[in-house]
Amino acid sequence: MTLFGSLHAHYYDQFHQTKDYRAEVEQLRTVFHREGPVHTLLDLGCGTGRHLEVLAAAGYSVVGVDRSSAMAARARARLSAYPAEVVEADLFSVSLGRTFDAAIMMFSLIGYQVTNTRVRSTLDALGRHVRRGGLVLFDVMSAAAVLADPGPQSGVGTFADGDRQMLVAHSTVVNPAEQVIELTLRMWETVDGKVTDQVDEKHVIRYFQPLELALLLKTAGLEYLGSTPLPARPPWARLVWARRT
Partner 1 sequence: MEIFGGLHARWYDRWHANKDYRSEVDQLVALFEANGPTASILDLGCGTARHLELLTALGYDVVGVDRSPGMVALARERIPVVVEADLLDLRLDRTFDAVIMMFSVLGYLDSTDSLLTALNSAHRHLRPGGLLVLDILDGNAVLTHGPRGGFTATTDGEQTLLRATTGRVHTDEQIYEMGVRLWLIDDGRLVDEDSETHSLRFFLPRELDLILELAGFELAGSAPVAGGQPGPAREWSRLVWAHRT
Residues contributing to the site for partner 1 (CB under 8 A): 115-116, 142-144, 147-148, 150, 176-179, 206-212, 214-216, 219
Phi, psi angles (nearest 5°) of residue 103: -125, 135
| Residue with Cβ nearer partner 1 (94 or 147) | 147
Helices (H), the chain: 6-15, 21-35, 50-57, 69-78, 109-112, 116-128, 143-148, 210-219
Shortest distance in whole angstroms from residue 129 CB to partner 1: 23
Residue 171 Cβ, how far from partner 1 at the closest point, in Å? Answer: 19
Residue 14 or 209: the one with the smaller Cβ distance to partner 1 is 209
Q: Which is nearer to partner 1, 116 or 158 (CB)?
A: 116
Q: What is the DSSP letter of 106?
A: -
**Short-list 115, 1, 151, 139, CA closest to 68:** 1
CB of 152 to partner 1, least distance (A): 14
Residue 168 or 181: which CB sits closer to partner 1? 181
Q: How far is the CB of 11 from partner 1 (least distance, A)?
A: 32
3-state secondary structure at position 66: strand
CA separation (Å) from 123 to 20, 140, 143, 164, 167?
25, 13, 19, 39, 35
Residue count of the chain, please give it: 245
Between residues 58 and 148, which has the closer beta carbon with respect to partner 1?
148
Of 202, 209, 134, 147, whose CA–CA distance to 175 is shortest? 147
Nearest distance, CB of residue 4 and partner 1, angstroms: 24
Measured in degrees and rounded to the nearest 5, phi and psi for residue 163 equal -90, 0
